[in-house]
Amino acid sequence: MKNKMHLEFKRLTQVSLDSIIELNNHPLVLRQMPLGSPDFDREKCQMWVTQKDSQWEMFGYGPWAFMIDGRFAGWGGLQYEDGDADLALVLHPNYWGTGKIICDRIIQQAFTEMHLESITILLPLTRSANKAISRYGFQPDGEVIFDEVKFRRFRLFANHALEANGDGY
């Protein structure tokens, strides 16, 4: 991977369904997504993209497609989850290691451009909270259940993120 990469956020509707299907069915990615399944076909993908993209109209935010050097690297950003703007990040294994750069940009947009008061991150119980979550200032904020899978929720408040990051946001 180049030292200087070009990162672009696009709408999911601007990416080929085949690229999204390949990512969401990738065995290494599925290990990180307890709600995913390896039968994510074209029909499911089209419905999924439509649902994810509709969040932009309903809430003013939604998931993006991440393009690195012109190639689809993954999806995520802020998505509506039970009243919260939840930060999601799903990257193709070829792009693991670029998450910090992408998260920095998402958090910056959440608080400086979208003026959200807080954002959340949901982690399945199978994943431990890592240093990155703490470094950003996310704090434990209970547990939630989606499709019978329990997740730990972490919350980052705008004032805490802006204080912790100084002029970076």
CA distance 138 to 129: 10
- pLDDT-derived band at 3 (thresholds 50, 70, 90) equals low
CA distance 94 to 87: 21
Q: Which residue has the higher pLDDT, 38 or 17?
A: 17
Whole-number pLDDT of residue 146 = 82
pLDDT, tens digit, for every residue of 146-168?
878 888 999 999 987 755 555 45
pLDDT, tens digit, for every residue of 115-154?
999 999 998 887 776 677 888 889 999 999 887 888 899 9
CA distance 113 to 125: 32
Long-range contacts of 56-62 (CB under 8 A, 24+ apart): 56/11, 59/85, 60/114, 61/85, 61/110, 61/114, 61/116
Q: Which residue has the higher pLDDT, 2 or 85?
A: 85
Domains in the chain: ranges and CATH: 7-168 (3.40.630.30)
The answer for residues whose C-beta is within 8 angstroms of residue 20's C-beta and 6 or more apart is 12, 45, 48, 49, 65, 72, 75
Whole-number pLDDT of residue 2 = 47
Whole-number pLDDT of residue 167 = 46
> What's the half-sphere exposure (Cβ side, CA atoms, 13 Å) at 55?
24
State yes or no: pLDDT of 106 exceeds 50: yes
Whole-number pLDDT of residue 134 = 82
Beta strands in the chain (DSSP E): 7-11, 63-68, 71-81, 84-91, 118-124, 139-146, 149-157
Average pLDDT over the chain, rounded to whole? 88
Kindly report the pTM of this predicted structure: 0.87
Whole-number pLDDT of residue 28 = 85
Mean pLDDT of 69-85: 95
Q: Which residue has the higher pLDDT, 4 or 11?
A: 11
Single-letter code of the amino acid located at 154:
F
Structure tokens at 81: 């989850």
Structure tokens at 62: 């939604």
Contact assessment for residue 139 and residue 156, using Cβ atoms and an 8 Å cutoff: yes
Partners of 81 in the β-ladder: 84
pLDDT, tens digit, for every residue of 28-74?
888 877 677 788 999 999 999 999 999 999 999 999 999 999 999 99
